[in-house]
Amino acid sequence: MKAYKGFKTDMTCSGFQFEEGKEYHEDSAVLCNSGFHACEAPLDCFGYYSPAESVYHEVELDEVSDERESDSKICGKNIKIGARLNIANLCKLQFDYVKSHCTNEYNAEKGKAATAGNYEAATAGERGAATAGYRGAATAGESGAATAGNYGAATAGNYGAATAGNYGAATAGESGAATAGNYGAATSRGSVAVGDNGVALCRGNDIKARGGLGSILVIAVESKDYYDIKEWKAEVVDGKKIKADTWYKLENGEFVEIEDETT
């Protein structure tokens, strides 16, 4: 079965050296004890390997144990290491995963609100508000607001606001705002904020990013005449060079703290 696995940057996991494209076998698969471990939900990997010091790959697991714990971690006797995935890939895959595990979908008309429970999907039109619970998926159109709980995926259009809880994925369009909790990933063409060990990516003009300790901030500034990237930079929030829970913009290729920024 398809799953996702985190590694240290040297492609080791618990002292075992892996290589992309290789297959490996163990005689037993006991969750948290033996065998090869991976996660069905891509962003669950952040709970074991933080984005600041890890790489992630798609994998195939065979002879998978039936054991489960609080998240989507699984264990199998056989593993094949597939392609490496970047943070944008993981966010997209997380949204697809959440949508595929929803039992119902609630849709609302333009300007109205949609609410769904755990594992469900809520979709609202322009200027609407979509809210989904734990592991849910919330999607709102332009100027809409999408909110999902822990492990959830929230997507809002231009000028919209997307908020996801811990391990969640939040995506907003032009001039939008995306916020994710600890170990989450947020992407926007406006302002982006994440919690500890999260990943924040913003691209455009007049953009800013903020993150908790251990998170990665990526800011890409576009040319005002074209959509080409004029300059970009990635930094890890270490609490020293880059402060935690502090807004930054990019000027002349360097992160610059935005003073007195409260929103």
Query: With contact defined as beta carbons under 8 Å apart, do 40 and 103 qualify?
Result: no
Structural domain contains residue 262: no
For the chain, how many structural domains are there in total? Answer: 2
> In 3D, which of 121, 124, 122 has the Cα closest to residue 108?
124
Q: Strand, coil or helix: what is 188?
A: strand
Other Cβ atoms closer than 10 A to 110: 12
Rounded to two decimals, the pTM is 0.69
Q: What is the pLDDT of residues 221-238, one digit of tens each?
A: 988 777 788 899 999 999
For residues 128 and 253, state if they share a domain.
yes
Give pLDDT, residue 258: 93
> Binning pLDDT at 50, 70 and 90, where does residue 112 land?
low
Place of tokens 């056989």: 78
Instruction: Give the per-residue pLDDT at 102.
Output: 59
Please enumerate in sequence order all residues whose Cβ is within 8 A of that of 22, keeping only pairs 6 or more positions apart, or say none.
Answer: 80, 81
Same-domain pairing of 54 and 133: no
At 174-232, the pLDDT tens digits run 778 888 888 888 888 889 999 988 889 898 888 999 999 989 999 999 887 777 888 99
pLDDT for 106: 57
Q: Are residues 75 and 184 in the same domain?
A: no
Does residue 76 sit in the same domain as residue 181?
no
Q: Which of the residue ranges 28-37, 71-80, 125-134 would you say has the lowest mean pLDDT?
A: 125-134
Last residue of a domain, one of 50, 85, 120: 85
Q: Are residues 127 and 239 in the same domain?
A: yes
175 and 202 belong to one structural domain: yes
Which of these, 54, 59, 61, lies nearest to 86 by C-alpha position? 54
Residues 30 and 159 in one domain: no
CA 192/CA 181 separation, integer angstroms: 11
The per-residue pLDDT for 142 is 82
Ramachandran bin of 51, using left for φ above 0, alpha for ψ from -120 to 50, beta for the remaining angles: alpha
In a domain? residue 141:
yes
Range of the domain at 45: 2-85
* Residue whose tokens read 């033996």: 34
Quick one: pLDDT band at residue 61, thresholds 50, 70, 90? very high
